């Protein structure tokens, strides 16, 4: 199980780098959602299921919806 933790942390680092390198804001939001999903899985491996529930509800659900609403009210690509 130790190597699974290593893969998940590497996934988090790769996802964070991809979020700051994309110019399209919608794809940045989508990659950030996957970052949040993997973070919840990592909380679960750290034996904190309540924090994982909160992260899955707020990080993956509410934050994605709010970001998509903000993108639909403003422009989509970064200058």
Partner 1 sequence: MTIASFVAMTIFLAVLAFVCIYRAYIGPTAADRVVSINVITTKVTVLIALIAVITDQYMFIDVALIYAMMGFIATLAVSKYIEKGKLY
Site for partner 1 contains 27 (CB under 8 A): yes
**Residue 24 backbone phi and psi in degrees, to 5:** -80, 120
The sign one gets for the Cα dihedral 35, 36, 40, 43 is: positive
Cα angle, residue 42 at apex, residues 66 and 56 outer, rounded to 5° = 30
Site for partner 1 contains 25 (CB under 8 A): no
Site for partner 1 contains 45 (CB under 8 A): yes
The sign one gets for the Cα dihedral 62, 66, 71, 72 is: positive
| Residue choice 13, 16, 23, 72 for contact with partner 1 (CB under 8 A) | 72
Binding site for partner 1 (CB under 8 A): 1, 3-4, 7-8, 11, 14-15, 18, 22, 26-27, 29-31, 33-34, 37-38, 40-41, 44-45, 49, 52-53, 56-57, 60-61, 64-65, 68-69, 71-73
């Amino acid at each position: 199980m130790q190597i699974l933790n290593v893969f998940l942390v590497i996934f988090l680092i790769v996802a964070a780098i991809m979020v700051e390198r994309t110019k399209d804001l919608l794809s940045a939001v989508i990659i950030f959602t996957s970052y949040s999903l993997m973070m919840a899985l990592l909380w679960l491996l750290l034996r904190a299921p309540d924090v994982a529930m909160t992260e899955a509800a707020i990080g993956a659900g509410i934050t994605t919806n709010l970001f998509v609403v903000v993108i639909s009210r403003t422009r989509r690509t970064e200058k």
